[in-house]
Chain A
Amino acid sequence: MKKIISLIIAILVLLSCFSFSTFAIEYDEQPYIYTNYLDPTETIIISDDYQHLTLGDKSYSRFSGNDSLHSYDELENEIFLSPAQELEVKNIVLHASKNGYKISAYIYFLDGATLSVTFYLDEYIQEYERLKFGDFEDYYIVFQESDYSNNSEEIILETTKELLMSEEVELTVNDFLLTASFDVCCKSTDLNFYVTRGSLIKYDELYYYIDFDNTNSSNKELDLYNYEGKAYKISDPLLLQRIEEESNRYYGESDYGVLFDDELSKAISNAFLILVFIIIPFVIFVLSLIFGIKSKKVYKKLFFTICALSVAILITSIIVILMVY
Chain B
Amino acid sequence: MLKKLLKYDLKAVFKYWWIAAISSLGLSALGGICITILSNQNDGGISPPQILIVSAILMLILAIIGIIAFSLISLILIFIRFYKNFFSDEGYLTFTLPVKRTQQLNSKIILSTVTQICTSLFICLNFTIMLVIGFSKHVFTQEFWEKIVIFVEELFDLIDGYVAIYIIEIILLLVISMVFSNLFIYACITFACMITKKAKVITAIGIYYVANGIFTFLLQIFFLFSMRSLSTLFAKLPENSLEPAIAILGLGILLVLALFCAILYTFEYWMLDRKLNLA
Contacts and interface: CB of A to CB of B under 8 A. Distances in A.
Q: Interface on chain B toward A: helix, strand, loop, or mixed SS? A: helix
Contact of A20 (B57, B249, B258): B57
Interface string A5-25: 000000001000110110011
Interface string A291-325: 00000001100110110011011001101100110
Interface stretch (B117-125, B156-164, B231-239): B231-239
A93 B269 CA distance: 66
Given A20-B61, A106-B44, A273-B226, 4 more contacts: A177-B235, A272-B222, A298-B100, A323-B241
Contacts, number: 112
B229 A306 contact: no
Contacts of B248: 316, 319-320, 323
Chain A, interface SS category: helix
Contacts of A191: none
Contact of A298 (B102, B234, B259): B102
B237 to A, nearest CB: 6
B255 interface: yes
Given A21-B54, A324-B236, A316 B255 contact: yes
Contacts of A313: 252, 255-256, 259
B106 to A, nearest CB: 12
B61 A276 contact: no
Contacts of B225: 268-269, 272
Given A17-B61, A21-B57, A108-B44, A317 B252 contact: yes
A316 B234 contact: no
Given A90-B45, A306-B263, A316-B252, A13 B65 contact: yes
A176 interface: yes
A105 interface: no
A303 to B, nearest CB: 7
A79 to B, nearest CB: 13
29 contacts: A17-B61, A17-B62, A24-B57, A25-B50, A25-B54, A90-B44, A108-B43, A108-B44, A108-B45, A114-B44, A176-B231, A177-B235, A204-B235, A265-B228, A269-B228, A270-B229, A272-B222, A273-B229, A277-B252, A298-B273, A299-B270, A302-B262, A302-B265, A310-B259, A313-B252, A313-B255, A323-B244, A323-B248, A324-B245
Contact of B222 (A91, A112, A276, A323): A276
Interface string B35-46: 000000001110
B140 to A, nearest CB: 14
A306 to B, nearest CB: 5
Interface string B52-77: 00100110011001000000000000
Given A13-B65, A309-B255, A276 B226 contact: yes
Interface of A: 13, 17-18, 20-21, 24-25, 90-91, 93, 106, 108, 112, 114, 174, 176-177, 204, 255, 265-266, 268-270, 272-273, 276-277, 281, 284, 298-299, 302-303, 305-306, 309-310, 312-313, 316-317, 319-320, 323-324
A91 B47 CA distance: 13
B237 A324 contact: yes
A285 B245 CA distance: 24
B195 interface: no
Interface in B125-175: 137
A174 B57 contact: no
A309 B257 CA distance: 10
B19 interface: no
A119 to B, nearest CB: 19
B1 interface: no
B24 to A, nearest CB: 15
B251 interface: yes
B262 A305 contact: yes
A133 B193 CA distance: 75
Contacts of A303: 266
Contacts of A106: 44
Contacts of B244: 323
Of the listed residues A20, A106, A324, the one surrounded by the most CB atoms of chain B closer than 10 A to its CB is A324
Contacts of B256: 313
B125 to A, nearest CB: 24
Interface string B170-202: 000000000000000000000000000000000
Contacts of B249: 320
A274 to B, nearest CB: 9
Given A255-B228, A320-B249, A18 B58 contact: yes
B114 interface: no
B230 interface: yes
Contacts of B237: 323-324
A306 B251 contact: no
A273 B43 contact: no
A176 B45 contact: no
Contacts of A25: 50, 54
Nearest to A179: B231
Contacts of A298: 100-102, 269, 273
Interface in B198-247: 221-222, 225-237, 241, 244-245
